[in-house]
Amino acid sequence: MDYYLSVATFAALHIILAVGLNLVMGFCGQVSLGHAAFYGVGAYASAMLSVAGWPFPVAMLGGMLAAGLLGVITGLAALRFREDFLAIATMAIGFIFVGTARKLAWLGGEMGISKIPSPLSKHEYAWLAMAAAVLLIIFSLHVRRSWMGRAFSGVAQDEVQAQTIGIDIAGYKIAAFFLATASAGFAGGLYAHMTQLIVPDAFGFVVSISILAMVVIGGVGSTLGVATGAVVLTLLPEVFRIINDYKLLVYGGMLLGVMMFSPQGLAGLLSQCVQAMRRRKEAA
Amino acid sequence: MKTLFTRRLLIATAALACLSGYAQAQNIRIGFQVPLTGPAASDGKTALQGAQLAVEQINAAGGIKGRSLELVALDDQTQPAQAVPIANKFIGDGIKAVISGSYSGPTRAAAGVFQEAKIPYISAYAIHPDIVRAGNYVFRTSFMGEVQGRAAAKLIADIMKKKRVTMINVNNDFGQALSAGMKEAAPKMGLQLVSEYNFGMGDRQFGSIVASVKKDDPEVIYVSGYFFNGGPLVAQLRAAGVTAPIVGTEGFDTVNFVQIAKEAAEGVIITTSLDRDTTDPTMRKFIDDYKKRFNVGAEMVAASTHTAVNVLAEAIRKVGIDDSAKLRDAIGATKNLSSAVGTITFNNSREVYKAAQIQVIKGGEFKRFAVIDDPVLLAPPNY
Amino acid sequence: MYYLDLLMIGLVWGCTYAMMALGLTLVYGLLRILHVAQATVFTLGAYAGLLVANATGSLALAFVAAIVSSCVVGVLIYRWVYEPVLDKPPFVPLVASIGLLIAMEDGFRLIFGPYGLSFTSNPWFATMVGFGGIQINLVQAVLVITAVVSIGVLGWVASSTRLGVGLRATVTDPAMAESFGVNRVQVRTATFLVASALAGVSGLLVGMLNNLVEPGMGGLIAYKGLAIIVLGGLGSVSGTLLASVLFGLIESFGTVMLDQVMDRDAVAFLFMLLMLLIRPQGLLGKGR
């Protein structure tokens, strides 16, 4: 039971991370290769607050704000950079975060932060994570359909065009970054309290790529697709323990395969299927 | 026709399934957490081999009271984040005892989970102090970081008779634990720590550190790292003209280290748990059997996991595997057990005492340099 | 002396990065693709060279093997992975490249084992070359010379040969270039040949320098290579060179001076980030 519960909780955390990254990538057309850094900042901030004696809600809030702040700064920097630069810049942020967390003693150094108090039970974490995930999905879907979403797509399609109709691109980009990173921070806080031990390596480049994979395989821009991608990729390693030795080979191959044959990911495949069925119905 | 065949096939399959299930029920299953992928994959492979050899030997000798020992290995990818879910998987699958053949980070992460589930957990070679402090179900069958540091300090001060030391550490649990051990023991032995440098596990180019060491001109260089760091580092130090003796730790105890560093490996001294020149029959048997089975020289990591399996097997032999509290106590009561890493005894805090083997590389081979058998100096802490 | 040593180390590292980064900047300039999978070719060159060197004892053959294998695979990557997705949004070739890199790294581990392979005989490794009181080993010297020579040759090709001019034209204005008779496929293939050859040779040299060829050796160098081309100004060759050298120097000095604050990789990336905030188009990139 415990095992399934922990998998379910991780799946929910990954949904939060992936849907958040989707806000940035899908809606704003910005590629972020460093999302794990925000996850990590949230984890570290909330862990340090908890260890210092602050109550759980305060620690979680602290984690969200810290991550959100870094996110806003990244968003501001993103204004100055074009797309390709941003990918590398966010990758750099990821490496800088890990590199610094590794070295500074007050961040725990290589050993990380341990003995983080765990105020909730395993069930409570699971429910909290899933509730947050559902909330984020609903919010993300709502944004998509609302004026903000149209503005976001506008930004993605053509910045210049959007600018001429008077959309405040800068504002929306920052908002997207803040949303995405604050929720990543929340996920980080949950993760820290659940596992009671965090180390810099848990938030490295590989993790950023995993989150990116969830978004890409699910289908960039599609909230539900991305959430599905997150669940699938969380369950995959569990299922794949049988083929364990070839895990990364399969993982990389999947990324490659999806990009080559269905860049819109699962969501794209689904919509293609639906369209094909519709066409067949009309023809019949 | 077809249906008769199908039916027979189904019956045969069912029978086979029952039989294997029965056989499984007969086997004693122990968990083995090991990094088969990730940066520690090389040590992980060696660790698995050591454990496999132990299991094969035990089963060849009749198993444990007639039942076969079965090793259930799971890959933790060298990541603490992965160690927690697989710990839960072991527990969910009904595994009653687990050995960690992994590095300190992932072992430390899993220790808390096993302690809470009251499953005996043995760290075969991960040295971070916090691992065993997770609770009374966690044990370690190898040297703690600080004990190794003390051994190295004694080696440098009393046996090599040097004073000025430069430390070069790898940036992780392993390196930090060793450096803490050395820093604590150095002043007591009269050593002077001239300088300290750090590198990452992925580093292979040490140009700046080498230049700095050259400038510092120490009498001895103490390196904590793995063979894939130490090999290039030692080679680059010698190539730059640094002639000071180099003392390494068990991370260097592999054939690969010599292969990478080549001539530069000559004269490098390491603190480890395996003595290639041993006359101790159990250690000797392990070294010979490992070579025969895997066609490659034995290494510390393999010896450590081999030992951990044997410690666990001995305890299971005494009290069975079903009562975890009894098993825990039986493991803790291990005294003077002859193993691949020497004679070991647990103290009250579930750490072991054993002699430190000091090996030197001569002619591309590991040879005995000294043995530090000092129960007082090398006593693991009691807490 | 000490600072001179650090300077020399920085230059050697800078040259190593330059060889990777040159290829990356050529590919980016031509196709606007961040060729992360360049790391695959780097590692492949190292393995191919090592296997041939250990089997035949000839370093010359090893280099040939490195160049040939990396060129073949490099062009295949272009044909099979990039060409089909050129019309898709930019994240598609980037993610495909990353997927390829992850898969190949694991592939190398499965084929060659996780331990890493060493050269049975590596004479250049032990030979020291000295000048002006500084000692570097022969492999490092060869690295520097190869980098300098490659840059020189590429510079000459770019300005004086049909192919080079065609390449520059295609970068600036592909349609116009084609109407002048420049063969697009030829130019692209040539670009990947050059980029891959550079990566393969530097892979072999780095393998010799460490006396260790490992499945994951290309990854971090590729990521830093990307940071370098961004820092230099995407698409600008001279910017890339400048950035490579700077990176090498920052790492060399940063490793010992900022030791307590952050690790080596972080130092280099931080520098890049700060420079970008001041000059978003990169050191020598063209403004927006």
CB contact under 8 A, C114 and B256: no
Task: Give the Cα separation of A103 and A112 in Å (integer).
Answer: 10
Which residue is it, tokens 């790294």? C105
On whether the CB atoms of residues B366 and B253 are closer than 8 A, the answer is yes
pLDDT of amino acid B138: 94
Q: Is the pLDDT at B65 greater than 70, yes or no?
A: yes
Which residues in C lie closer than 8 A to residue A103 (C-beta atoms)?
A: 259-263, 266
Co-location of B186 and B330 in the same domain: no
Which residues in C lie closer than 8 A to residue A93 (C-beta atoms)?
A: 273
Which residue is it, tokens 């992980």? B44
Q: Is the pLDDT at B215 greater than 80, yes or no?
A: yes
What type of residue is A139? Answer: F
Q: Could you say which of C13, C128, C212 has the minimum Cβ distance to residue B207?
A: C13
CB contact under 8 A, A256 and C276: no
Question: Please, which pLDDT band fits residue A83 given cuts at 50, 70 and 90?
Answer: low
By DSSP bridging, strand B164-170 and strand B192-199 are parallel
Q: Is the pLDDT at B57 greater than 90, yes or no?
A: yes
Residue numbers of B between 40 and 69 with CB closer than 8 Å to C:
41-42, 44-45
The answer, as to whether pTM is greater than 0.90, is no
Task: Provide the domain limits for residue B45.
Answer: 11-143+279-352
Supply the CATH number for residue B165's domain. 3.40.50.2300
- Identify whether B86 is part of a domain: yes
The residue-averaged pLDDT of A92-109 equals 85
Which residue is it, tokens 């975890």? B324
CB contact under 8 A, A259 and C99: yes
What type of residue is A52? Answer: A
pLDDT of amino acid A156: 53
Question: Please, which pLDDT band fits residue B1 given cuts at 50, 70 and 90?
Answer: very low
pLDDT of amino acid B96: 93
CB contact under 8 A, B203 and C264: yes
Co-location of B85 and B159 in the same domain: no
Q: Around C264, how many Cα atoms within 13 Å sit in the side-chain half-sphere?
A: 28
Task: Give the Cα separation of C157 and C190 in Å (integer).
Answer: 12
pLDDT of amino acid C288: 42
Better pLDDT: B104 or C163:
B104
Q: Is the pLDDT at A203 greater than 50, yes or no?
A: yes
Task: Give the Cα separation of C95 and C86 in Å (integer).
Answer: 13
Using the Cβ of B100 and the Cβ atoms of chain A, whether some distance falls under 8 Å is answered with: no
- Identify whether B382 is part of a domain: no
Which residues in C lie closer than 8 A to residue A99 (C-beta atoms)?
A: 262-267, 269
Q: Could you say which of C125, C214, C255 has the minimum Cβ distance to residue B209?
A: C255
CB contact under 8 A, C90 and A83: yes
Task: Give the Cα separation of A211 and A197 in Å (integer).
Answer: 21
Using the Cβ of A25 and the Cβ atoms of chain C, whether some distance falls under 8 Å is answered with: yes
The residue-averaged pLDDT of A130-139 equals 92
Question: Please, which pLDDT band fits residue B251 given cuts at 50, 70 and 90?
Answer: confident
Count CB atoms within 10 A of the CB of residue C120.
12
Co-location of B191 and B203 in the same domain: yes
First to last CA, chain C: 43
Q: Could you say which of A77, A100, A256 has the minimum Cβ distance to residue C266?
A: A100
Co-location of B135 and B151 in the same domain: no
Q: Which residue of C has its CA nearest to B37?
A: C114
* Cα torsion A139, A145, A148, A150: sign: positive
What ipTM is given for this predicted complex?
A: 0.83
DSSP code for B321: S
CA angle B369, B185, B162 (to 5 degrees): 50
CA angle A86, C251, C240 (to 5 degrees): 50
Q: How many residues does chain C have?
A: 288
pLDDT of amino acid A166: 55
Q: What are the angstrom distances between the C-alpha of A80 and each of A77, A173, C33?
A: 5, 12, 20
Map residue C8 onto helix, strand or coil.
Answer: helix
For chain A, what is the mean pLDDT?
83
Question: Please, which pLDDT band fits residue A134 given cuts at 50, 70 and 90?
Answer: very high
Q: Which residue of B has its CA nearest to C124?
A: B239
Co-location of B158 and B136 in the same domain: no
Using the Cβ of C12 and the Cβ atoms of chain B, whether some distance falls under 8 Å is answered with: yes
Smallest Cα distance from B148 to chain A, Å = 18
* Domains in chain C: boundaries: 12-218
* Range B272-311 burial, b when 16+ CB lie within 10 A, else e: bbbbbebebebbeebbebbeeebeebbbbbbbbbbbbbbb
- Identify whether B52 is part of a domain: yes
Smallest Cα distance from B34 to chain C, Å = 14
Q: Is the pLDDT at B50 greater than 90, yes or no?
A: yes
Domains of chain A: 2-283 (1.10.3470)
pLDDT of amino acid C277: 80
Task: Give the Cα separation of C115 and B76 in Å (integer).
Answer: 18
Secondary structure E strands in B163-260: 164-170, 192-199, 220-224, 246-248
Co-location of B293 and B327 in the same domain: yes
Q: Is the pLDDT at A165 greater than 70, yes or no?
A: no
Among C280, C275, C209, C267, residue whose Cα is nearest residue C243 = C275
* Regions of chain C short of the pLDDT cut 70: 131-133, 163, 285-288
pLDDT of amino acid A14: 94
* Range A90-116 burial, b when 16+ CB lie within 10 A, else e: bbbbbbbbbbbbbbeeebbbbbbbbeb
Using the Cβ of A118 and the Cβ atoms of chain B, whether some distance falls under 8 Å is answered with: no
Q: Is the pLDDT at A58 greater than 50, yes or no?
A: yes
- Identify whether B1 is part of a domain: no
Q: Kindly report, residue by residue over B287-319, the tens digit of the pLDDT.
A: 999 999 999 888 899 999 999 999 999 999 999
Smallest Cα distance from B89 to chain A, Å = 6
Overall domain count for chain B: 2
Q: What are the angstrom distances between the C-alpha of B125 and each of B112, B121, B139, B204, B303?
A: 17, 12, 11, 24, 9
Map residue C48 onto helix, strand or coil.
Answer: helix
- Identify whether B164 is part of a domain: yes
* Backbone phi, psi, residue C196, to 5°: -70, -40
Q: Which helix (H) or strand (E) element contains residue C129?
A: strand C128-131
- Identify whether B383 is part of a domain: no
Co-location of B257 and B305 in the same domain: no
The residue-averaged pLDDT of A229-236 equals 87
Co-location of B126 and B167 in the same domain: no
pLDDT of amino acid B349: 87
CA B147 to chain centre: 14
Task: Give the Cα separation of B156 and B150 in Å (integer).
Answer: 10
What type of residue is A51? Answer: V
DSSP H stretches of helix in A146-222: 147-157, 159-164, 169-195, 205-218
Task: Give the Cα separation of B306 and B46 in Å (integer).
Answer: 10
Q: Around A94, how many Cα atoms within 13 Å sit in the side-chain half-sphere?
A: 25
Co-location of B47 and B158 in the same domain: no
Co-location of B113 and B42 in the same domain: yes
Task: Give the Cα separation of B225 and B168 in Å (integer).
Answer: 8
On whether the CB atoms of residues B79 and B147 are closer than 8 A, the answer is no
Among B127, B126, B359, B124, residue whose Cα is nearest residue B253 = B359
- Identify whether B5 is part of a domain: no
pLDDT of amino acid A162: 55
- Copy the structure tokens of residue B226: 């793995």
